[in-house]
A and B are shown apart, each in its own frame.
Chain A
Amino acid sequence: EDQVTQSPEALRLQEGESSSLNCSYTVSGLRGLFWYRQDPGKGPEFLFTLYSAGEEKEKERLKATLTKKESFLHITAPKPEDSATYLCAVQYTGRRALTFGSGTRLQVQP
């Protein structure tokens, strides 16, 4: 069964304290891996798409990387406005659906 596992479930950081979120997936048949940010009561907001091992994408304080079995979302010097739930989703070859992880709830304190 296709699985996407995110860790940690929740993370509390002080402003400026860098950290990483993890997304691990079933190894075979990755077509694409997606990172989204979701604020409470709102729809997921697209951040990054990664397609192959070794690929990296950056946007402001966020950097996403991909290996053959997991992806990391690195947050550098976070600010309180980075507080949100970060979702990872995977599309496997031969399947149209996205399989989502359960998310990491990030809280950045001033």
Chain B
Amino acid sequence: EAQVTQNPRYLITVTGKKLTVTCSQNMNHEYMSWYRQDPGLGLRQIYYSMNVEVTDKGDVPEGYKVSRKEKRNFPLILESPSPNQTSLYFCASGSVGETQYFGPGTRLLVL
């Protein structure tokens, strides 16, 4: 089954404790992306990757890092999480210029 998976689905952590949210897709897509969704602000793009070893900032990259060492994986790293990073995070993948397919989401709470 074609899908985008994310782990963990739910995460509670404390300020400053490094964390990684994994994202994997099995559709051989070149393009992968991370979004956060907040009430009243909608979906906003954090980072994206056009292919392996090619990443770039989206609209709200501050406080986040990403890497793309393999085509199928695109982890999101929070080196020192802060409460304002409490949000619902979505990973998406697609062919360049085409439709993006979204994962199920990761709900993060930073205390």
Give the complex CA separation of A20 and B58 in angstroms. Answer: 31
Give chain B nearest CB distance to A98 CB in angstroms. 7
Q: Are B43 and A49 in contact (CB under 8 A)?
A: no
Give chain B nearest CB distance to A8 CB in angstroms. 15
Given contacts A31-B97, A32-B97, A87-B43, contact A96 B102 (CB under 8 A): no
Is B48 engaged at the interface, CB distance under 8 Å to the other chain? Answer: yes
Give chain B nearest CB distance to A49 CB in angstroms. 5
Given contacts A31-B97, A44-B90, A49-B99, contact A101 B105 (CB under 8 A): no
A31 neighbours in B (Cβ, 8 Å) = 97
Q: Are B105 and A102 in contact (CB under 8 A)?
A: no
Size category, B interface: 20 to 34
User: Which residues between 83 and 109 of chain B lie within 8 Å of chain A, taking CB atoms?
Assistant: 90, 97-105, 107
Q: Are A101 and B42 in contact (CB under 8 A)?
A: yes
Number of A-B contacts (CB under 8 A): 51
Q: What DSSP secondary structure best describes chain B's contact surface?
A: strand
Is B7 engaged at the interface, CB distance under 8 Å to the other chain? Answer: no
User: Which residues between 57 and 89 of chain A lie within 8 Å of chain B, taking CB atoms?
Assistant: 87, 89
Q: Please encode chain A, from 15 to 38, with 1 for each CB lying within 8 Å of some chain B CB and 0 for all others.
A: 000000000000000011010100
User: Which of A41, A96, A101 has most B Cβ within 10 Å?
Assistant: A96
Is A55 engaged at the interface, CB distance under 8 Å to the other chain? Answer: no
Residues of B near any A CB (own CB < 8 A):
4, 31, 33, 40-45, 48, 50, 56, 58-59, 90, 97-105, 107
